[in-house]
C-alpha cells in the first residue's frame, strides 16, 4: 500500500457556496477542479495523508492580529472565519505532533490583509497566516516563526503585520512590484526600526521560470532560514506564479512548486492566490501535497507543459543572479543600511493604502517606540473615506515595561480624542478593547 514518508495533514475548504462576485476570479469553483484532481488521484487514500475537518475561527483569534474597522462582523464573513479556522486546524495537527506538516487548502486568501482592516484588499479581508501564527504563539508558546510567501503578488499584508516584529522572519518572493499589484515589495523595505532585516523582499522579473525560483530558494531563502533558526516555517503558498495564470506574468510550473516544497519542507503551507483554476491549480496542489508527503512527483506535469512551458531566458537568469548577489550582501553579509534606533525614540511614518476590491482609501499615521528588548509599542491612526477615523494601540507579545507604559499612555490619551473608535490590543495581558 502507498505510504507517505512524511505524515501530512490536509485541511480542504473549497467554500463551494461563497464568491466575491459571480465572475470574480475568487469564486465558488476556484478549488473545484483541484478537488477533482485530488480525489481522482486518490491522494486521501494514501497512508499517512490525513484530511481534517475545518472549524470557524473565533473573533478572539482575529483580535490577536487585526484592528477591524468598525468591527469584526463588518469585515469578516463566515467564509473568512472558516478559512482562518482551517489554518488553526492545520496548526493544531502539526503542533500536537499528529502530522509532520500540514497544508491548509482554504479560500478566501489572506496575505494582503494588513494590521488595520477596513475591507477587502487584493481579494483578502483577514490574514489567515498571521491569525494562525499568533494562535500558535498563544497556544504552544512558540516564538521564532519564518514566513516564506511564494505568492506571485507581494505579501504586503503579512509584511505590514510583522514589520516591527524581530521574532518573525518574513520573506516574500514575488513578481516585481513595478509590473504587478500591489506595487510594493522592494529590497529596501526590510523591516521597521525594531526589526530591521527581518523583512526580506525578493522581486523577480516577469517570466522567471523553474530555474530562477529554485535558484533563489537554494542560494538565498535556505541560507536565510538557516541563519534565523525558526521554530516553525510557514509557506504562504500562492500558486499564481504558474505559466497558465491569467492575471500574472510568471513562468513557474507544478513540478517547480513540488520541488520548491520538497526543498523548503514548510511545517504548514497555506493556500493564497492562484487563479488558473482549470489548468494550473489542480496540478500545483497535487504536486504540493505529494511533495509534502514525501512522494515522488516526477509524474506531476500539466497536460500542456511540453507545449506551453518555455525554459527561462538567459537574460532573466543573469538578472536573478545579480539580484541574489545584492540581497545576499544585504541580508546575509550584514551590509544593510540600518536606520538609527535609539532606545525610547518614537519614529513616525504616514502612508496611503488603497483597497482595490472595496475601493476604500485609507490614510495611516503610525508611531513606533524604538526598543532594544521588545517589538516596541505601536500606535496607528487611520482615516478612511468611509468616515472612519480610528486610533489603535498595540502592546506586543513580550513587551517591555517601558513600551507597555508608553502604549497605555497613548491609549489613555486617544480615548479623550475625537476618534470614531479607539482600540487597544495588550498582548501581555491578553486584552482587546474597543471604545
Output the nine-digit C-alpha cell for 409: 499612555
As measured in angstroms, the least distance from the Cβ of 43 to other proteins is 8
232 near 145, Cβ under 8 Å?
Answer: yes
Q: How far apart are CA 210 and CA 147, in angstroms?
A: 21
Around Cβ 218, how many Cβ atoms within 10 Å?
12
Query: Which residue bears the cell 512527483?
Result: 297
CA distances from 115 to 208, 392, 401, 425 (A): 31, 10, 23, 11
Nearest-5° Cα angle at 36, 16 to 24: 40
Q: Does 75 bind other proteins (CB under 8 A)?
A: no
As measured in angstroms, the least distance from the Cβ of 151 to other proteins is 21
Site string for other proteins, 227-246 (x = CB under 8 A): -------------------x
> Annotated catalytic residue: which of 66, 112, 118, 421?
112
Which residue, 247 or 428, has its beta carbon nearer to other proteins? 247
Q: Does 79 bind other proteins (CB under 8 A)?
A: yes
Which residue, 39 or 415, has its beta carbon nearer to other proteins? 39
CA distances from 21 to 26, 28, 123 (A): 8, 9, 11
Does the annotation count 112 as an active-site position?
yes
Q: H helices then E strands: how many in the chain?
A: 13, 16
As measured in angstroms, the least distance from the Cβ of 51 to other proteins is 5
Q: Does 32 bind other proteins (CB under 8 A)?
A: yes
List the one residue from 4, 8, 26, 43 that touches other proteins (CB under 8 A).
43
Which residue, 76 or 422, has its beta carbon nearer to other proteins? 76
Which residue, 16 or 354, has its beta carbon nearer to other proteins? 16
Site string for other proteins, 288-327 (x = CB under 8 A): --x----xx-xxxxxxx-----------------------
SS3 326: helix
Q: Cis omega (within 30 of 0) on the bond before 70?
A: yes
Q: Does 259 bind other proteins (CB under 8 A)?
A: no
CA distances from 41 to 52, 285, 286, 429 (A): 18, 11, 8, 48
List the one residue from 6, 20, 41, 206 that touches other proteins (CB under 8 A).
41
Output the nine-digit C-alpha cell for 40: 481522482
Q: Does 60 bind other proteins (CB under 8 A)?
A: no
Output the nine-digit C-alpha cell for 160: 505590514
Q: Which residues are catalytic?
A: 112
The site for other proteins (CB under 8 A) is made up of 1-2, 11-18, 22-23, 27-29, 32-33, 35-37, 39-43, 45, 51-56, 78-79, 82, 246, 254, 278-279, 282-283, 286, 290, 295-296, 298-304
Amino acid at each position: 500500500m502507498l505510504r507517505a514518508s512524511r505524515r501530512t495533514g490536509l485541511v480542504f475548504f473549497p467554500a463551494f457556496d461563497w464568491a466575491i462576485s459571480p465572475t470574480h476570479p475568487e469564486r465558488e469553483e476556484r478549488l473545484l477542479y483541484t478537488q477533482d484532481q485530488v480525489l481522482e488521484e486518490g491522494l486521501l487514500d494514501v497512508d499517512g495523508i490525513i484530511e481534517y475537518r475545518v472549524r470557524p475561527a473565533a473573533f478572539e483569534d482575529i483580535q490577536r492580529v487585526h484592528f477591524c474597522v468598525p468591527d469584526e462582523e463588518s469585515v469578516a464573513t463566515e467564509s473568512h472565519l472558516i478559512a482562518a479556522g482551517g489554518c488553526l486546524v492545520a496548526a493544531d495537527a502539526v503542533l500536537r505532533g499528529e502530522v509532520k506538516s500540514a497544508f491548509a487548502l482554504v479560500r478566501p486568501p489572506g496575505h494582503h490583509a494588513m494590521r488595520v482592516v477596513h475591507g477587502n484588499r487584493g481579494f483578502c479581508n483577514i490574514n489567515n497566516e498571521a491569525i494562525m501564527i499568533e494562535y500558535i504563539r498563544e497556544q504552544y508558546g512558540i516564538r521564532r516563526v519564518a514566513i516564506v510567501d511564494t505568492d506571485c503578488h507581494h505579501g504586503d499584508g503579512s509584511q505590514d503585520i510583522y514589520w516591527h516584529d524581530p521574532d518573525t522572519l518574513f520573506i516574500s518572493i514575488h513578481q516585481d512590484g513595478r509590473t504587478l499589484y500591489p506595487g510594493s515589495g522592494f529590497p529596501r523595505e526590510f523591516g521597521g526600526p525594531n526589526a530591521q532585516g527581518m523583512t526580506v523582499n525578493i522581486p523577480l522579473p516577469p517570466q522567471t521560470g523553474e530555474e530562477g525560483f529554485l535558484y533563489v530558494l537554494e542560494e538565498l531563502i535556505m541560507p536565510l532560514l538557516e541563519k534565523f533558526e525558526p521554530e516553525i516555517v510557514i509557506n504562504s503558498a500562492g500558486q499564481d506564479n504558474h505559466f497558465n495564470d491569467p492575471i500574472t506574468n510568471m513562468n513557474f510550473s507544478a513540478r517547480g512548486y513540488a520541488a520548491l516544497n520538497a526543498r523548503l519542507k514548510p511545517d504548514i503551507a497555506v493556500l493564497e492566490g492562484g487563479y488558473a483554476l482549470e489548468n494550473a491549480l489542480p496540478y500545483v496542489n497535487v504536486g504540493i501535497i505529494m511533495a509534502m508527503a514525501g512522494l515522488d512527483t516526477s509524474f506531476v506535469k500539466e497536460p500542456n507543459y511540453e507545449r506551453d512551458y518555455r525554459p527561462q531566458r538567459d537574460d532573466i537568469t543573469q538578472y536573478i543572479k545579480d539580484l541574489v548577489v545584492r540581497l545576499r550582501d544585504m541580508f546575509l553579509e550584514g551590509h544593510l543600511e540600518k536606520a538609527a534606533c535609539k532606545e525610547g525614540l518614537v519614529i513616525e511614518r504616514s502612508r496611503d493604502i488603497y483597497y482595490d476590491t472595496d475601493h476604500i482609501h485609507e490614510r495611516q499615521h503610525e508611531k513606533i517606540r524604538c526598543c532594544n528588548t521588545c517589538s516596541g509599542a505601536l500606535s496607528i491612526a487611520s482615516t478612511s473615506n468611509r468616515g472612519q477615523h480610528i486610533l489603535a494601540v498595540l502592546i506586543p507579545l513580550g513587551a517591555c515595561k517601558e513600551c507597555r507604559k508608553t502604549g497605555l499612555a497613548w491609549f489613555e490619551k486617544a480615548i479623550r480624542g475625537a476618534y470614531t473608535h479607539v482600540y487597544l490590543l495588550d498582548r501581555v495581558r491578553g486584552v482587546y478593547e474597543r471604545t
